[in-house]
Structure 1
């Protein structure tokens, strides 16, 4: 080989001839790389030519003007650049001729093989022309000359424009056609060599060059010549396949097919496409596979709900969530379905209540006799249902569809909203609530009472906690939260008064849950009640200690008293007089004196109707056996103690001795008669004034402790009605207070706006009716808190 380094200041033809002789083996036969000596010879040849000091450009060898813009180095650099450009085109013409003879996969193999060879070879050529790049090319680019690139970029531009291209005579259309056929084979289930496609894609990406800055790559070539036709072909393929498949198969099978195809296309991006194609490709596939078939897919939703097809529902959501606007119809269908399921569940509970007795969950104590089934012709009312059965029915529906939302619908907020709206409907407006919209909170409070009192079937603390958490789930849907508060407060008071709370920590936990849900004001009275219980315990200890020190100590009953503040306990004064039995009178007077001495100025109002007693029945004691203990109300105790004097009394005599009014005495005797503690002479005329009541001296029972405090159903109903009446009175005051607050802030307000604002302020506590608000407005007008405007009777003004 010639010694290139020995040539100096030779002319262009000679220099290029020597360069071409060196470049040819690199471009056509490169297999082991380029040796350092070979590279140095070529590099030196270019260096010597570009830095030649010969400044003569005419035949007479006269010097060229030194100020000419075409000084030797510039002119010779441009010549080398142009000759290399011409050489690359001629080289690619040969490749093009060979490529024209190839088809389909053979063409792709040829293209990828030659692309790899070309880019490897031109990388070496770029190193050979390093001096030209650093000086002449850089100067041209810095001076803003267009279409001048570093040598490696020039090789890519030449491949792109002269060989690859996109117009007539170039290879790109054939290449893309072959690629699309190969990918279609893969979609049809055939195995292909994905590395071929990957190599093609890499070449398309590499050919993207910024015309204004050759150092910055772009995706223009890839987008124009690969991505666009690829996505168009994809759309056409799946449009045909989806229309055929959905017409021949079920919607469920189609969803599986669509899910599989979308996963395949996503995987295809990972295998051999550029990452930028993922979004447009999947968007195109989602349009063809899902959006264009939204209607039939949505119509299948109800069937899947009816059949509880969790997996298929999850698949449907996964598909339609890719087309967000298609989910709204599903949300509406889901809401209607859940509401129907909730209403149906409550209807079954109501029907069961009509057909048979209440469940044991409504019993006050496990010793209490269960009520008999209603007589024929007197079915139970729809609202007369067992609280546990009712709450369990509501919770089962909520739990089922809450799990569906979390699992199948990924906890999507739209479906959570649909679930909440549906639950709010069937919790507050169902067959049990037809006569009273506040029945749900009442039954929910009763269910809490059964869980928290002694004798509950659920004894494990953690299990009780879980059930109470589920109760709070329903509580958030209850609209009349003030009804729940009132009943819960009354039942808590009863548990505390009768020492029936199963666990103080659980009681406190429930109150904290209510406080978190509704605020401190909602539970402030409940917490004060517990404080009173703690203070009463200390008070009882002090009373016992004082009694033990008293000189004239006499034997008396074991005595416990609960002193509560009038403001926080929902307790009413007794409706009847009551003669305190002689056995208790001494203890009663002692406590009165003790309390008055300790708290001068305070007055005790005794609520005998809430008290309970335990009485030993020594008259039926058998040898060696423990005497029976009767668990009674205070009034029943007063009646039973009468039989220490005689074993038989008329109804009139009992009324006179106890001073109880007729309804109260009947209620007390009802439990005694029900438990067979006493008997009557004439059962057909139980409540006749002269009918005699006798102590049952032959009383028998397998239990040693017998509960005789069994309330009459009418009495229970009256208590419930009384509570509801108190709720209505409280609501009236709350509505009036809200109206005054609003008017005090706004000063003047139109009637309809005032009504709307009042509802908005109170909706978290209860939803006031328009008629109730208008009634309260009239009350405030009478009280002169507000006044009507003379010119506009629909406008109100605040009276300061």
Structure 2
């Protein structure tokens, strides 16, 4: 029946509703006849069997429907049930009322229905014995139920309860005797099956007896906190005798443990049997208190020995799969036959023995190997397993960081492989990113560890990684879209910028990038102006406008130079307009201070070339008063047409301006000595050696040289190579301008250090001007906060001494470690 609160009806309607419900309940009870049970008492499933046995629903609370016999209806006033909300052994009664006055009045007129209590109890005892013995009841269920009702109504509920309790004690003791007798005669599996059958039989009989004595259970037992219900009484008796048994309880525990051990070793077991027996222990309150402790302890001992042997003799990936398999098996046992309460104790125990005890060994032996071998699935499995322990992920994170430091240090510190440094770092970053995303699920802690690892090793070798990143970028921007699409080049820039973020000395990168960018712009080496500007925009976003202001001004100079070129082409002073010269002249005007510092080289230009320089200088100074031009012949480029009689066609040489000056000397002579060339060209000795060496290489031999091919000396003689051959029309001779000389590299590094000294001095003066007086340690701490590049305490001390000498600051007379600002 529904236990929802009743609606508020008018009184007459409510009375009619209650009367209708009462009649339905009594009609239900009248339908119960003999062994044919149609139970509406919430938990009895009955059927007619050959031996008169009665079966109970496993849950004890599920009402089942059955065939009903329509019998003649006696006078319903003899029944005293006025509320039909009766639930199972774990349920509650809603609005239970005292028995009807009709029963009480009947008991007064005819004490206990004409029968004494001993007579009634004798009938109830016989029925109870029949139930326990599995016999057919001699009286209808309706009659027995009514007798209990009458006994309760006439205040004999205590006597009835005590008598029933004694009956339970007798029959449960007999039941326990059967179980104890078989404990020594059967093996574990057979005994568990026997116990299961006996327990199911006892439960069914206890539930049927509870149905007979339901009124007693719902009045006398329910209203007394110190009195057990009929179902609980049977459970209590069973638990008491099982605990007092000599072998039965121990045999049940041992049987269950051995069956589980067999399953763990790979054998098949009857899971339904294990589930029913463990449910029995749970009902008897013997599971959590006794069996569970033994089970968890045996599990701990098993996996402690098994895991130690496995980790000592197997590879880490194999051990990880073993742990995963064992954990799945234990979860499957919990889902299938173990009680749910076991999860909280069993899984932490298994995880502790299989993972926590060996996590340091797994990490130490497996992390580096699995990353190197790209065992992505195994790494992901290790991560998921270590998530189960408190210290697992921090230990793995630490090992991950150390792996990056170790691998990166090998890349950075190998001076013989500097050319491959950046590509190796990019490959390492790709591999680490894949591990982070696929294995570590983009865990923020592991991302921080990766960043710390890269930042550590990339700054182990001062300045060199920043220089190599700038040179690698220069190489790719020269090749540009010839080797990659625009999208691929864009992605490459982003990856290089990630490495750039890890660098402490970004000023080194800026200096070398500016130098290389200048050469690409001046020598027309950039494959794509769009790519150059895209990279500049990315650097601006990364470092701010101050970082890229000079670089942007270099592009501005290039645009302005185009305007100069257009205007000069139409100017009357242009020799091409006056003398009809065959030379094409182009000029780039560079703003000093924006471009890298270039040292002008003295060179004697042919008259046809020098006239253009003079004309443009006159044009420029006439438009910009006060400005002077310094010609950088060493940065000029030329295209020279060469006619070879043997080839029958002309060739076009793409050479530097200095190479052009030397080649033009051989228009009038076929052979010249080193001294004659130097005197005629006016080129400095070191630069001349580079020029002549480039014109005499085996790859492009424009001039022939006497003496050893590998060395140049002042005694060498150079001659015009009439046998020069090349399949291409346009021949690019060794571009000595694009190559970086050791002097250029050293000069760039010196420029960086000079700029750093200025920045250090400015930071110290700025801090002292603000603080007025500061101790040495605090001053160093403030300086480190303001500088963007790494610097040693020794270098800072030298700059402080320099500022003291120049009277920007002074040591305190009383405290030598304290400095005072000098206004």
Global fold match (TM > 0.5): yes
Match of 1:637 in 2: 660
Query: Take 2:219 and 2:609, find their aligned partners in 1: how far apart are those partners?
Result: 120
Match of 2:422 in 1: 391
Residue 303 (structure 2) pairs with residue 238 (structure 1):
yes
Match of 2:476 in 1: 451
Query: 1:556 touches 1:584 (CA, 8 Å); kept in 2?
Result: no
Match of 1:175 in 2: 252
Taking a change above 3 Å as real, the CA distance of residues 585 and 527 of structure 1, as seen in their structure-2 partners, is same
Query: Take 1:93 and 1:620, find their aligned partners in 2: how far apart are those partners?
Result: 128
Taking a change above 3 Å as real, the CA distance of residues 279 and 726 of structure 1, as seen in their structure-2 partners, is farther
User: How do residues 347-358 of structure 1 correspond to structure 2 at under 5 angstroms?
Assistant: none
Unaligned runs of 5+ in 2: 1-32, 35-73, 81-102
Taking a change above 3 Å as real, the CA distance of residues 114 and 426 of structure 1, as seen in their structure-2 partners, is same
Unaligned runs of 5+ in 1: 55-74, 209-220, 351-381
Match of 2:334 in 1: 269
1:490 to 512, 515, 518: 515
User: How do residues 205-604 of structure 1 correspond to structure 2 at under 5 angstroms?
Assistant: 205=282, 222-241=287-306, 260-289=325-354, 300=365, 308=373, 310=375, 325=391, 387=419, 389-395=420-426, 427-429=458-460, 437-454=462-479, 458-465=483-490, 467-468=492-493, 470-472=495-497, 474-511=499-536, 514=539, 518=543, 521-533=546-558, 557-563=583-589, 565-569=591-595, 571-577=596-602, 582-584=607-609, 588=613
Query: 1:620 touches 1:628 (CA, 8 Å); kept in 2?
Result: no
1:707 to 732, 747, 750: 732
1:771 shift after superposition: 1.4
Query: Take 1:320 and 1:184, find their aligned partners in 2: how far apart are those partners?
Result: 26
Task: Name the stretch that deviates more: 164-173 or 480-489.
Answer: 164-173
| 1:752-794, Cα deviation, whole Å (9 max, x unpaired) | 34334534554xx432122111122223334554443333221
| 1:717-750, Cα deviation, whole Å (9 max, x unpaired) | 1111111111111221233344445556655443
Query: 1:651 touches 1:693 (CA, 8 Å); kept in 2?
Result: yes
Match of 2:795 in 1: 772
Residue 277 (structure 2) pairs with residue 185 (structure 1):
no
Question: Alignment length, in residue pairs?
Answer: 707
Query: 2:775 touches 2:818 (CA, 8 Å); kept in 1?
Result: yes
Residue 250 (structure 2) pairs with residue 155 (structure 1):
no
Query: 1:632 touches 1:707 (CA, 8 Å); kept in 2?
Result: yes
Query: Take 1:239 and 1:586, find their aligned partners in 2: how far apart are those partners?
Result: 93
Match of 1:72 in 2: none
Match of 2:742 in 1: 717
Query: Take 1:445 and 1:551, find their aligned partners in 2: how far apart are those partners?
Result: 41
Match of 1:99 in 2: 179
Query: Take 1:726 and 1:79, find their aligned partners in 2: how far apart are those partners?
Result: 110
1:5 shift after superposition: 3.6
Query: Take 1:706 and 1:551, find their aligned partners in 2: how far apart are those partners?
Result: 26
Q: Which has the larger radius of gyration?
A: 2
Query: Take 2:175 and 2:509, find their aligned partners in 1: how far apart are those partners?
Result: 87
Query: Take 1:30 and 1:451, find their aligned partners in 2: how far apart are those partners?
Result: 97
Query: Take 1:26 and 1:611, find their aligned partners in 2: how far apart are those partners?
Result: 117
Taking a change above 3 Å as real, the CA distance of residues 456 and 551 of structure 1, as seen in their structure-2 partners, is closer
Residue 702 (structure 2) pairs with residue 677 (structure 1):
yes
Task: Name the stretch that deviates more: 660-669 or 401-410.
Answer: 401-410
TM-score scaled to structure 2, two decimals?
0.69
1:732 to 740, 749, 757: 757
1:42 shift after superposition: 6.6
- Secondary structure in structure 2 of the residue aligned to 1:613: strand
TM-score scaled to structure 1, two decimals?
0.71
1:43 shift after superposition: 6.5
Query: Take 2:587 and 2:822, find their aligned partners in 1: how far apart are those partners?
Result: 48
Query: Take 2:480 and 2:242, find their aligned partners in 1: how far apart are those partners?
Result: 87
- Secondary structure in structure 1 of the residue aligned to 2:479: coil
Query: Take 1:308 and 1:545, find their aligned partners in 2: how far apart are those partners?
Result: 67
- Secondary structure in structure 1 of the residue aligned to 2:244: coil
Taking a change above 3 Å as real, the CA distance of residues 521 and 160 of structure 1, as seen in their structure-2 partners, is farther
Task: Name the stretch that deviates more: 524-533 or 722-731.
Answer: 524-533
Match of 2:192 in 1: 108
Query: Take 2:165 and 2:151, find their aligned partners in 1: how far apart are those partners?
Result: 18
| 1:485-504, Cα deviation, whole Å (9 max, x unpaired) | 22122112211222222234
Query: Take 2:583 and 2:337, find their aligned partners in 1: how far apart are those partners?
Result: 92
1:192 shift after superposition: 0.5
Taking a change above 3 Å as real, the CA distance of residues 415 and 539 of structure 1, as seen in their structure-2 partners, is same
| 1:592-612, Cα deviation, whole Å (9 max, x unpaired) | 677678777776655443232
